[in-house]
Amino acid sequence: MTDLVFCEPTELYNILNQVSKLSRLTEPNYLCLLDVRSRREYDESHVITALRVKKKGKEYLIPESVDLECVKYCVVYDSNTSTLEMTLVNRDLEDDDDSEDPGPGPDYPLGTESFASHDSTARMEMALGPAVECGKMLSDFTGNPVHILKGGYERFSGLYHFFRTQKIIWMPQELDAFQPYPVEIIPGKIFLGNFSQACDPQVQKDLKIKAHINVCMEVGPFFAGDPDNLLHIQIEDTADAKIIPFLRHLCHFIEIHLELGSVLMVFSTRGISRSCAVIVAFLMHQNEETLKRSWAYVKKCKNNMRPNWGLVTQLLEWEKIVLGDFVTDISDPMY
């Protein structure tokens, strides 16, 4: 049995927006996203690519197309999950249309277990929430921890309304064409992306972007001639390009916009080298922490981050400026 862990909305958002050459959603064993709400709620709207988990009696029926043992991320959500422990559940509001015979479709049952308390009155019972109950059953079949979306669909859809859909079946070519959004570094405050995303007006609107930091050579279309909301430092993505002379200015610009409550996007051409170095440097400065710690945090948000070696050595110099000494061993292969 694997662990059951909470998944913050920002974590699921970043999982949905990871990229290799294409969106990682194209990979069959990358993400299994499961919705355990009622059919009515699911049909009304759900998170993109989510599959609905049917329930027959007390048995959850998982689509056979899902290879739980091999999947990297298994995320389950209901309407609103606030705890992984037992809580007071109104059974009258659950499964309002899940008792139908699912017919001969490609689903298989997972065994269930009653968690009801004898102290319940009417239909109020002490029980695990639907997502947690389903997640515990799934954990017997998965190779990695099962993630339970904290706050459920209500919280996630409130933060990322543009990832709601009524679409049920995603064809491979549709997933190939899916355009990921910038990843989220500080929830609702700092995003990290590429030049194409920085030029997309829909992305700016959906994420409520109010300022840009551009560290590539290209000139973007937004905030032109507005130095309060655009910091453009032209840096080549080469091993001999210098970023360290600009790091204090970059950190100061970010701090100003955090104080103002402005949503900021940091970007470079591909969003994996120069912009990542800026974010790592800022986190080191803001949190007074090591290169290693800040690097690991950004890597979790942006799996394919890869600052060039020249930038890595300058980040080590920045570590000495921030902390007063060299701490991180950049000979480690992770850099």
Give residue 60's identity as a one-letter amino acid code: Y
Instruction: Flag whether 269 is in a domain.
Output: yes
Q: Is residue 115 part of a domain?
A: yes
Do 135 and 142 form a contact (C-beta atoms < 8 A)? no
**Is 74 a domain residue?**
yes
**128 plus 151 within the same structural domain:** yes
Q: What is the DSSP letter of 24?
A: G
* Rounded Cα gap, residues 160 and 148, in angstroms: 17
Could you give the number of structural domains in the chain?
Answer: 2
**Lookup result for tokens 């249309």:** 97
Residue 67: per-residue pLDDT: 82
**How high is the pLDDT of residue 97?**
52
Token pair in block for residue 14: 């970043």
Contact, 54 vs 92, CB < 8 A?
no
Residues 6+ apart with CB under 8 A from 261: none
CA-to-CA dists, residue 185 to 189, 276, 285, 332, angstroms: 8, 10, 15, 24
Residue range of the domain that includes 73: 4-177
Domain closes at, from 177, 192, 219:
177
Query: Do the domain assignments include residue 143?
Result: yes
- In this structure, are 166 and 307 located in the same domain? no
Q: What is the pLDDT of residue 119?
A: 47
Helix axes 274-287, 291-301, angle to 10 degrees: 130
Q: pLDDT (tens digit, 0 to 9) for every residue of the chain, 335 residues total?
A: 568 999 999 999 999 999 988 999 999 899 999 999 999 999 999 999 999 998 888 788 877 777 888 899 999 999 999 888 877 666 665 545 554 444 444 554 555 444 444 444 556 777 788 999 999 989 888 889 999 999 999 999 999 999 999 998 888 889 988 999 999 999 999 999 999 999 999 999 999 999 999 999 999 999 999 999 999 999 999 999 999 999 999 999 999 999 999 999 999 999 999 999 999 999 999 999 999 999 999 999 999 999 999 999 999 999 999 999 999 999 999 99
Residues 226-252 as b or e (16 or more Cβ within 10 Å = b): eeebbbbbebebeeebebbebbeebbe
The verdict on 96 and 151 lying in the same domain is yes
Closest CA to 49 of 70, 18, 93: 18
pLDDT, position 102? 44
308 and 194 assigned to the same domain:
yes
**pLDDT at residue 113 in the model:** 44
Question: For position 208, which CATH number holds?
Answer: 3.90.190.10
Helix (H, G, I), strand (E, B) or coil at 277: helix
Question: Which one of 177, 210, 235 terminates a domain?
Answer: 177
Q: Are residues 309 and 187 in the same domain?
A: yes
Let me know if 101 is exposed, middle or buried by CB neighbors in 10 A (0-12, 13-18, 19+). exposed
What would the two tokens of residue 218 be? 């290209």
Question: How far is it, in rounded angstroms, from Cα 281 to Cα 250?
Answer: 9
Q: What is the DSSP string of 42-81?
A: HHH-EETTPEE-EEETTEEEEETT--TTT-SEEEEE-S--
Among residues 144, 177, 210, the one where a domain terminates is 177
- 25/148 same-domain check: yes
164 and 65 within one domain: yes
Output Rg (C-alpha) for the chain, integer angstroms: 23
